[in-house]
Structure 1
Amino acid sequence: MSDNTVTVRRAVAADEAALLEIELTAWDATSGFPSLTAGDRTTFFAERYGPDAFLVAELAGRLVGYIRLQDKYPFPEGAGVLSINGLAVAPEARGQGIGSVLMDAVTAEAKRRGARKITLHVHGVNTVARRLYERHGYVVEGTHPREFLIDGQYVDAVDLALFL
């Protein structure tokens, strides 16, 4: 019998290779920016965000997803507003509730930090992600029409928020 329990924990530096593999395979033109996953990337963590910015999902001892949660603003007046800057699930692990588990974990983490609001951006054409966020209580705050030009098509950016 296999263990289908998804667990969430903080990322550690040793997760880099597995997270990079998810990063390079999980995004497409409807969900991300092809220019950011093209080329010969060899690192996942960046100077701006290290392992402490990520929660990771494990299934059967294997990393299958991540979510990045950071302060949205670097100044005191914006304290309490956090931003999700990426949620990805490995393609072979989709449809198993991993995105929901990560969303629940990030909400718990935000509450633990005393946040009052979580924000995120999503491509308007990414209906799967939008449904996930809306199921978790996120509401549309605004739309930026034709914000991006991806593969020759204009894509709206949609701002969503959860008020805690």
Structure 2
Amino acid sequence: MRKDRDRRDKGEGDVGASLRRCIVTPLDILTTSAAARLIALMREEINGRPVCTAEEVTEALLKAYHVPAYHGFVASDGTGICGYLGLNDRYAVYSGGAFLQITELVVSPDRRGRGIGRLLLDHAEEVAQAAGFRNIEVNLPAAERLPGTHAFYTACGYTSRGVRTSRAIG
């Protein structure tokens, strides 16, 4: 699924009312390395320290090509890859059946505040609707660590429904 959109800045950041052309396309072999760098950066921001290399993320993305439930997308604004969106088809009784999980959504730090994150989120919502899903979930880091992330999702209409916990087992 390819989506071309003209995005007009809504006064966020320092780009004024400039018109930006941004394209969302499926992740492919040519965009994997750039996407991996963004994901490694996202994981560092979440954890407050480097936790993986871009090469390790590249390996994981290459494996993801063979996972039917996983969908990766990149955003390009004409100067290169500036965003990544990872989606996972999920099923849970509490959610009323099938739903879409946003596993990664990251925008390059030098391009934040220009509508790219919203473009990727809009794309996730369109993918969910096309698949017949009724819900989208996203797990967020603690608000104290990344308050801007929480503010972004809240501004986009997402509400907190509790805390998800996890434990590494391997």
Q: Would you call these one fold, judging by a TM-score over 0.5?
A: yes
Cα deviation code 1:12-56 (max 9, x no counterpart):
122111112222334434x25746425863725142x22861121
**Counterpart residue number, 1:142:** 162
- Where 1:37 maps in the other structure, the secondary structure is coil
- Using the TM superposition, give the Cα deviation of residue 66 of structure 1 relative to its aligned residue in structure 2, in angstroms: 0.7
Q: Separation in 1 of the partners of 2:54 and 2:74?
A: 24
Asked if residue 23 in structure 1 is aligned to residue 43 in structure 2, the reply is no
Residue 105 (structure 1) aligns with? 123
**What is the TM-score normalised by the length of structure 2?**
0.70
Q: State the identity as a percent.
A: 22
1:58 aligns to 2:76 (yes or no): yes
Please provide the CA RMSD for this pair: 3.1
Q: Distance in 1 between matches of 2:19 and 2:51?
A: 34
d(CA) in 2 for partners of 1:96, 1:39: 25
Q: Is the 8 A contact 2:88 2:100 kept in 1?
A: yes
Unaligned runs of 5+ in 2: 1-17
TM-score after normalising by structure 1: 0.72
Partners of 1:42 and 1:128 in 2: CA distance: 24
Identify the residue that residue 151 of structure 1 maps to in structure 2.
Answer: none
In structure 1, stretches of 5+ residues that fail to align are 149-164
Describe the SS at the equivalent of 2:91.
coil
Larger RCO (alpha carbons 8 Å, 6+ apart): 1
Superposed structure 1 runs of 4+ greater than 4 Å apart: 32-35
Shift in alpha-carbon separation, 1:85–1:12, aligned structure 2, 3 A: same
Contact in 1 for aligned 2:102/2:137 (Cα 8 Å): yes
Aligned length, in residue pairs: 143
Which amino acid is 1:41 matched to?
A: E
User: In the alignment, which of 103, 116, 134 is matched to residue 116 of structure 1?
Assistant: 134
Shift of residue 102, structure 1, vs aligned partner: 0.5
Q: Do the aligned residues in 1 keep the contact of 2:23 with 2:76 (CA within 8 Å)? A: yes
Letter of the 1:81 partner, please give it.
Answer: F
Structure with the higher strand share, 1 or 2: 1
Q: 1:82 to 1:100 in 2, by over 3 A?
A: same
Change (3 A) 1:42 1:122: closer
